[in-house]
Structure 1
Amino acid sequence: MAETSGRTALRAQGRRAAVVPGGQQSSGTRHPLVAVAMVLPLAFLLAVVFGGWEAVMTQASSVVGMLGR
């Protein structure tokens, strides 16, 4: 019985190490490109479903213009 619980504890410890490498906690921030990659599919879907494609393109061109400065 002790051998089984020891294996379970090792597996749980391995999972925690896999989730947070090095045992450090995440600061809760992510790279801006990751955030954009997460948001773009939803934004595209909403634009198509609600017919706001022109508004999305206008906003996108404004953002591109600001980034180009």
Structure 2
Amino acid sequence: MVETPGRTALRAQGRRAAAALGGRQSAGTRHPLVAVAMVLPLAIVLAVVFGGWEAVMTQASSVVGMLGR
């Protein structure tokens, strides 16, 4: 891919925007426990709001059973 002045300027602008928002560029993937900690509160709220708590508990139980093997 050929670097053009426009493409270079867009890339630099994206870096500045990310820095201004306090973001950082990730070099890899998140630790699985960090991902769970990020998703779990929203999952619980959605399960309670939409009445799917029993289904969530059934699936969680199945996952725990598979991890235990």
Q: Structure 2-normalised TM-score?
A: 0.62
Partner of 2:44: 44
Q: Which amino acid aligns with 1:42?
A: L
Relative to its length, the structure with more helix (as a share) is: 1
Q: Once the 2 structures are TM-superposed, how far is the Cα of residue 41 of structure 1 from its aligned partner?
A: 0.2
Which structure 1 segments of 5+ residues have no match? 1-14
Partner of 2:66: 66
Structure number, greater radius of gyration: 1
Q: Which amino acid aligns with 2:41?
A: P
Question: Over residues 11-48 of structure 1, what are the superposed CA-to-partner deviations in whole Å (9 max), with x where a residue is unaligned?
Answer: xxxx8xxx76xxxx632301000000001000000000
The higher-RCO structure (CA 8 Å, 6+ apart) is 2
Q: Which amino acid aligns with 1:65?
A: G
Partner of 2:8: none
Matches of 2:35 and 2:58, distance apart in 1: 20
Runs of 4+ in 1 over 4 A off after TM superposition: none
Partner of 1:29: 29
Matches of 1:39 and 1:55, distance apart in 2: 17
